[in-house]
Amino acid sequence: MKPANAFANAPLERRGELRKSRNDLSALLTKPDTRFLLVAAERNVIDAASGKPILVDPEELAALSDGLTHSIMLGEYQGSALFVADLDNASDELLASTLGARTENLRTLGLRLSPEQASLAAYARAMVLWDRRHRYCGRCGGATASDEAGHVRRCINADCGNAMFPRVDPAIIVLVSDGERALLGRQASWDPNRYSTLAGFVEPGESLEEAVAREVREESAIEVEMVDYHSSQPWPFPSSLMLGFVARARTTSIQLLDGELEHADWFSRNDIASRRIHLPFPVSISYRLIEDWYDGGEPGRMRADLDHSDAQTLKHDRDQTG
């Protein structure tokens, strides 16, 4: 089995059977050993000193009650109930003065967290974002209320009663290779010279394999074959499930057909090792796809080559400066 991607394999029991028991939930919310992860303004709340996601008990959470919307049960973690509390738009000043905490975007935070911490932070953020974006009913427009430990939002209109559940948006992401080169592209909004594997959302009525072929064709005009599943990754920006594939190119002439990409090209292992381009962030499945292709069955090959290239560059710079 492949190692899990970042943000996956949250180390907790979700305990879905407790979500409908209001008595149990009420008791858990005030139990001294219950812990709460915190999200404010769609950013994870972290300890300012350690840089790790902060866990607070019910008493500590009460100090922030002015900004508290409600809590969502995540499950059981290390023998205790774990919730995420949405602090809405609690100010940095309040977080600093009461908890010695601050907020940080998960994209950057995830780069330095352990796999366990990153997966819990991602799960917490994803649930808060889903909850915030379903405050009104998509059927009748009425207000909704949180139910079942935060895993359902139910329309309060008695004539409607529509129930909404957390959803994920499936998206494919694929490393296309012609054998010696990988097809990578970039969007105009990205950091200069940063490239990634091709990706896109799955459309209604198509299989994952069809989505791979369509997205690659639309973005680059490349035709693919031998589409194989690689791995998946929850991607809470805001609610995607990235489904990773590898595919073999049947054609190699690139045309940017749908305007999604600013540029796409074929890159060799030497191109990557020489830092000709900037790779995706290491927490992304895109980086993992590129790394596994580059390694070609020799784990650690890409990292070793990049380290060697960096050392050579540093030596050259030192020689130039005397």
Q: Among 151, 166, 181, identify where a domain stops.
A: 166
Return the closest-CA partner of residue 174 out of 184, 164, 165, 166: 184
160: which 2 tokens?
A: 């409607």
Please say if the pLDDT value at position 69 is more than 70.
no
**Residues 77 and 94 reside in one and the same domain:** yes
Averaged pLDDT, 157-180: 97
Please say if the pLDDT value at position 134 is more than 60.
yes
| 101-104 and 152-155 beta bridge pairing | unpaired
**Residues 216 and 227 reside in one and the same domain:** yes
Q: Rounded to whole angstroms, how far apart are CA atoms 160 and 172?
A: 35
**Residues 153 and 195 reside in one and the same domain:** no
Averaged pLDDT, 264-289: 96
* Domain interval for residue 177: 169-317
Q: Rounded to whole angstroms, how far apart are CA atoms 132 and 168?
A: 15
Please say if the pLDDT value at position 68 is more than 90.
no
**Residues 197 and 154 reside in one and the same domain:** no
**Residues 198 and 304 reside in one and the same domain:** yes
CATH number, residue 100: 3.90.79
Please say if the pLDDT value at position 236 is more than 50.
yes
How distant is the alpha carbon of residue 216 from its chain centre? 22
pLDDT for the residue 310? 80
**pLDDT band at 309; cut points 50, 70, 90:** confident
Please say if the pLDDT value at position 2 is more than 90.
no
Residue 234 belongs to some domain of the structure:
yes
Task: Return the percent helix, strand and coil in the chain, to nearest 5.
Answer: 30, 30, 40
Please say if the pLDDT value at position 206 is more than 80.
yes
Q: What interhelical angle do 301-320 and 285-295 show, nearest 10?
A: 90
**Residues 185 and 261 reside in one and the same domain:** yes
What totals of helices (H) and strands (E) does the chain contain, helices first? Answer: 9, 14
Q: Among 133, 157, 187, identify where a domain stops.
A: 133
**Residues 119 and 160 reside in one and the same domain:** no
Query: What percentage of residues in the chain have a pLDDT greater than 70?
Result: 95
Please say if the pLDDT value at position 317 is more than 60.
no
| Domains held by the chain: number | 3
Host H or E run for residue 148: none
127 or 60: which leads in pLDDT: 127
**Residues 310 and 183 reside in one and the same domain:** yes
**Residues 60 and 178 reside in one and the same domain:** no
pLDDT for the residue 67? 45
**Residues 176 and 307 reside in one and the same domain:** yes
pLDDT for the residue 303? 93
Please say if the pLDDT value at position 294 is more than 90.
yes
Task: Let me know: does 243 contact 232? Beta carbons within 8 Å.
Answer: yes
pLDDT for the residue 321? 57
Q: Rounded to whole angstroms, how far apart are CA atoms 8 and 235?
A: 9
